[in-house]
Amino acid sequence: MSVLKTLEGARPLFYKEVLRFWKVSFQTVGAPILTAVLYLLIFGHVLEDHVHVFKDVSYTRFLIPGLVMMSLLQNAFANTSSSLIQSKITGNLVFILLTPLSHRAWFVAYVGASLVRGLVVGGGVLLATLWFAVPGLAEPWWAVIFAVLGGVLLGSLGLIAGLWADKFDQMAVFQNFIIVPMTFLSGVFYSVHSLPPFWHTVSHLNPFFYLIDGFRRGFFGVSDVSPWLSLSVVLSATVLVSAWSLHLLKSGYKIRH
């Protein structure tokens, strides 16, 4: 019963959050898709004949799942973080605080909307890049699992960042010095096996690497590490970050005091 009450309470806030990014979809959906296509054009054209990762998989095909997941992750994070910081700065967060919504309903609504935005952008990138190459779907269940977990993980992380930040400068620091480097250094544009030993080890400490690698497994049926290892790492990170964000919401961190 409590689960149903949480979902029912989250529904209007979820609808508001989805509508918020969809009303400016040219910026929130179209722009990231265009950016990913430009990455594909540049890197695919320059490195197509010079980089070989998986057998019988061209570099362009290898690149597409990485770009899809990178776009999904960055936009899932941006949705919750930007929504919260805007609401805090403009002062309209008080109207949500006046509602009887539980912290669980807040979490479901914000993270759910982030997952929707991430999946929409990721799906758009996949459709836009099919014109250049068809990556295939050898084990599609892995792609679905890691796409959903990636959206929830980054949506929760964006929730934490949005609660922590008091101004856009702080949010930019979080985005530019944590999220962007971790996504770019997660194997989107290369296989970690091509890295020197030190950076190979560092890459395995990055949870985003396991998201990219597990997601890519769904397309090609091969990966740098076992998909079960990737699933255990990503699931652990998702549970940990989600629990942290729920705790901050329950305590009213920087929103009730």
Query: Does residue 188 sit in helix, strand or coil?
Result: coil
Neighbouring C-alpha atoms within 13 Å toward the C-beta of 199 = 11
DSSP 190: S
Q: Write down the H helix ranges in 91-138.
A: 93-97, 103-129
In a domain, 246, yes or no: yes
The answer to whether residue 256 sits within a structural domain is no
pLDDT recorded at residue 151? 97
Pair of tokens at residue 193: 């096996």
Look at residue 198 in the predicted model and tell me its pLDDT: 84
Q: What is the pLDDT of residue 257?
A: 58
CA distance 124 to 142: 19
Residue 179 inside a domain? The answer is yes
- Over the stretch 77-98, which tens digit does the pLDDT of each residue have? 999 999 999 998 888 888 888 8
Quote the CA–CA distance of 60 and 35 in Å, as a whole number.
16
Q: Which amino acid is at 225?
A: V
Using alpha carbons, list the distances in angstroms from residue 237 to 117, 150, 242: 21, 10, 8
- Please report the DSSP string for 222-256 in residue order: --SS-HHHHHHHHHHHHHHHHHHHHHHHHHTTTTT
Q: What is the pLDDT, as a whole number, of residue 69?
A: 96
Contact between 119 and 53 (Cβ < 8 Å): no
Does the residue 257 lie in any domain? no
The answer to whether position 230 is within a domain reads: yes
Is 159 part of a structural domain of the chain?
yes
Specify the pLDDT at position 50: 66
Neighbours of 97 (CB within 10 A): 12
- Report residue 105's pLDDT band, with 50, 70 and 90 as the boundaries: very high
The DSSP annotation for 16-62 comes to HHHHHHHTTHIIIIIHHHHHHHHHHHHHHHHHTTT---STT--HHHH
Do the domain assignments include residue 203? Answer: yes
Query: Is the model's pTM score more than 0.85?
Result: yes
Q: Looking at residues 18-43, what average pLDDT do you find?
A: 94
- With a cut of 60, say whether residue 214 has pLDDT above it: yes
How many structural domains does the chain have? Answer: 1
Does residue 75 fall inside a structural domain?
A: yes
Question: What is the residue range of 53's domain?
Answer: 2-251
More confident residue, 54 or 234: 234
> Could you give the CA distance from residue 51 to residue 48 in angstroms, rounded to a whole number?
6
Q: Is the pLDDT of residue 253 over 60?
A: yes
Give the pLDDT band of residue 55 (cuts 50, 70, 90): confident
Per-residue confidence band for 27, with pLDDT thresholds at 50, 70 and 90? very high
Measured distance CA(234)–CA(100) in Å, rounded: 32
The residue among 169 and 30 whose pLDDT is bigger is 30
Average pLDDT value over all residues in the chain: 91
Q: What would the pLDDT profile of 115-170 be if each residue is shown by its tens digit?
A: 999 999 999 999 999 888 888 889 999 999 999 999 999 999 999 999 999 888 88
pLDDT of amino acid 19? 96
Helix (H, G, I), strand (E, B) or coil at 141: helix
- Residue 67: pLDDT band (50, 70, 90) is very high
